[in-house]
Amino acid sequence: MMSEGRAAGGPLRPEGELGPGIAAPLPAGVLHEGAGVTRAEEFEELRPLLFSIAYRILGSVGEAEDAVQEAWLRYAAVAVRPDSARSYLSTVVTRVSLDVLRSARVRREAYVGPWFPEPLLTDPYEDPERSAELSDSVSLAALLLLERLSPLERAVFVLREVFAFGFPDIASAVGRSEPACRQLAVRARRHMEAGRTRFEADRGERAELARRFFAAFRTGDLDGLTELLSADVALIGDSGGKAPRVASEFLGQETVARVIGGLVELFGKLEGSLEVHELNGEPGAIFRDGDGRVLTTWTLDIVDGRVRTIRSLSNPDKLAHLGPVADTRALDREAGIADGLTARLDDADPGSGAGT
């Protein structure tokens, strides 16, 4: 069990290695009958924190919600209430998330094309003293870096670097010794720092550039849109093999501009709508068809005053929490999305081409 810095009633330390399973017993000797506040009230107050921990470990809204629900079921079933509901529930949700992550990593190895985390509209947890860490760690770029870590490294990094839990409590949660957790934290920080983008734009600059970018998309101003793309821009798509696509990656300003030009035309045929919205704390948009169903989301990575990466997510399994999802395969048959994009790319400079 754990808390920020120090668990109420003293730090909880493991009796030895807990192993990978989520059913490992919690440290004993810290339970007592609570008074004044119901378990349900305690849990609801802590739900935002628990979800935020689980989402950063898993990168999935649905799986994070399931982990939080499992934590509630275990909390509700405990005969005697813990000294600290925060410590108890944070430990449980970490252990559940680790177990789910280990299974998910096996499935992701067989995933079709690039894999992106599920988009998060709003992080429910707020802590003014950790606002920078919370914001940085929920971005798609950071979550994709976290995918490179081992499950234990990822959990330790999230608990320590994002939420500032103490090492005694982290050790208890992940079932490793304190020295081992410190080494895991060092390795995780090294990997994360090595992959971070330097010279990122500040929040205001990013928002203004995104406003101009999506305004140009709405009006079909391809010249204005192209000016906002960096020379080495990449448009990367996650369809999971469940939505139409020409390629999973397009590289270079000219090629990406051609693709976006085709999408502007096709989007107009669908009489769709574009909602500019922060996704994972980054500039982005939700694209909907004429009936308001979700088609895709875009997230912009902005560096040095230009759009460096556009991440497009169209896997319907990852969009359901945003509302009703469009059947893009049916729309493709009607509007010829893939064929239309292919036709536009036939005239592209071969040297600037698309990834596969």
Q: What is the pLDDT of residues 131-162, one digit of tens each?
A: 989 999 999 999 999 999 999 999 999 999 99
Query: Residue 315 pLDDT more than 60?
Result: yes
Q: Model confidence over 52-86: pLDDT tens digits?
A: 999 999 999 999 999 999 999 999 999 888 888 98
Question: Which of 195, 229, 256 lies at the terminal end of a domain, its last residue?
Answer: 195
Q: Identify the pLDDT of residue 10.
A: 31
Check which CATH number belongs to the domain holding 55 and give it. Answer: 1.20.140.160
Q: Which two tokens stand for residue 179?
A: 């020295």
Is residue 135 located within the same domain as residue 222?
A: no
State the chain's mean pLDDT as an integer: 84
Residue type, 119: P
Query: Residue 2 pLDDT more than 60?
Result: no
Q: Identify the pLDDT of residue 6.
A: 31
Q: Tell me whether residue 6 is in a domain.
A: no
249 alpha-carbon distance from chain centroid = 19
Q: How far apart are alpha carbons 252 and 231 in whole angstroms?
A: 6
Q: How far apart are alpha carbons 213 and 225 in whole angstroms?
A: 6
Q: Tell me whether residue 5 is in a domain.
A: no
Is residue 209 located within the same domain as residue 235?
A: yes
Question: In Å, how far are 82, 84, 202 from 39, measured between CA atoms?
Answer: 10, 11, 41
**Structural domain of 247:** 203-349
Query: Residue 202 pLDDT more than 90?
Result: no
Q: Identify the pLDDT of residue 337.
A: 58
Q: Tell me whether residue 13 is in a domain.
A: no
Q: Identify the pLDDT of residue 105.
A: 86
Total domain count, the chain: 2
Residue type, 22: I
Is residue 113 located within the same domain as residue 213?
A: no
Is residue 226 located within the same domain as residue 168?
A: no
Is residue 129 located within the same domain as residue 221?
A: no
Question: Which of 195, 228, 247 lies at the terminal end of a domain, its last residue?
Answer: 195
Is residue 173 located within the same domain as residue 241?
A: no
Is residue 53 located within the same domain as residue 188?
A: yes
Is residue 108 located within the same domain as residue 221?
A: no
Q: Tell me whether residue 355 is in a domain.
A: no
Q: Model confidence over 226-260: pLDDT tens digits?
A: 999 999 999 999 999 888 766 689 999 999 999 99
Question: Which of 137, 160, 195 lies at the terminal end of a domain, its last residue?
Answer: 195
Q: Tell me whether residue 101 is in a domain.
A: yes
Is residue 165 located within the same domain as residue 53?
A: yes
The percent of residues above 70 in pLDDT, for the chain, comes to 81
Q: Write a three-state SS string for 279-346.
A: ECCECEEEEECCCCCEEEEEEEEEECCEEEEEEEECCHHHCHHHCCECCHHHHHHHHCHHHHHHHHHC
pTM: 0.84
Edge-first strand listing for the sheet containing 306-313: 273-276, 284-288, 294-303, 306-313, 229-238, 249-251, 354-355
Q: Identify the pLDDT of residue 198.
A: 58
The percent of residues above 90 in pLDDT, for the chain, comes to 65
